[in-house]
C-alpha cells in the first residue's frame, strides 16, 4: 500500500504527517478526514464545490482521471495549479503521494 505525506498546514496539520498503508481506491479527502485532518468539504464530497482543493506535489499522475465536472469546478479554486485536484474526487492508486492543502479555500472563513 502507498503512503501519503501531508505537508504542514498552519491550521489543519501544523507539523505535517506521513500516513502509511493508504488504502488504494479511497479518496484523498476521506483519508485526510480519517486521520483527523479536518479539510473543508462544504458539499459533503459530492463534487459541487472547491473547498476540498489540494495540490498533489508527488504522485499526481497515479490518481484517477478528473471528470469534466471536477475540472470545471477547479477553475474556481483559490491558488489553482497544474497539479490541483478536488480531494473528494481524487482516488489513490499504488504510488506514494505528497499532498499540500492550500492556505485558503473559496470559503475564506471556515465554519467550525
Going by C-alpha positions, the residue among 6, 15, 8, 22 that lies closest to residue 94 is: 22
Strand order in the sheet with 17-19: 17-19, 4-6, 97-100, 53-58, 84-86
Per-residue pLDDT tens over the stretch 32-81: 999 999 998 888 888 988 999 999 999 999 999 999 999 999 998 888 99
pTM listed for this prediction: 0.90
Question: Is 111 inside a domain boundary?
Answer: no
Question: Is 110 inside a domain boundary?
Answer: no
Domain that holds residue 10: 4-100
> Which grid coordinates belong to 98?
505528497
Residues 91, 64: contact at Cβ < 8 Å?
yes
Cβ-proximal residues to 77 (8 Å cutoff; 6+ apart), any chain: 50, 53, 84, 86, 102, 105, 106
Going by C-alpha positions, the residue among 52, 28, 53 that lies closest to residue 40 is: 52
Q: Is 85 helix (H, G, I), strand (E, B) or coil?
A: strand
Give the domain CATH number at 73.
3.10.20.30
Question: Is 42 inside a domain boundary?
Answer: yes
Question: Is 74 inside a domain boundary?
Answer: yes
Per-residue pLDDT tens over the stretch 86-97: 999 999 999 999
Question: Is 9 inside a domain boundary?
Answer: yes
The tally of domains found in the chain comes to: 1
Question: Is 30 inside a domain boundary?
Answer: yes
**Which band of pLDDT confidence, cut at 50, 70 and 90, is reported for residue 104?**
confident
Question: Is 34 inside a domain boundary?
Answer: yes
Question: Is 105 inside a domain boundary?
Answer: no
Neighbour count for residue 82 (Cβ, 10 Å): 7
Amino acid at each position: 500500500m502507498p503512503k501519503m505525506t501531508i505537508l504542514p498546514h498552519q491550521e489543519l496539520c501544523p507539523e505535517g504527517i506521513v500516513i502509511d498503508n493508504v488504502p488504494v481506491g479511497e479518496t484523498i479527502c476521506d483519508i485526510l478526514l480519517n486521520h483527523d485532518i479536518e479539510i473543508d468539504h462544504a458539499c459533503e464530497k459530492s463534487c459541487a464545490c472547491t473547498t476540498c482543493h489540494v495540490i498533489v506535489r508527488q504522485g499526481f499522475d497515479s490518481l484517477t482521471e478528473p471528470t469534466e465536472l471536477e475540472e470545471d469546478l477547479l477553475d474556481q479554486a483559490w491558488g489553482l495549479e497544474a497539479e490541483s485536484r478536488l480531494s473528494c474526487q481524487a482516488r489513490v492508486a499504488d504510488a506514494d503521494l505528497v499532498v499540500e492543502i492550500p492556505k485558503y479555500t473559496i470559503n475564506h472563513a471556515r465554519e467550525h
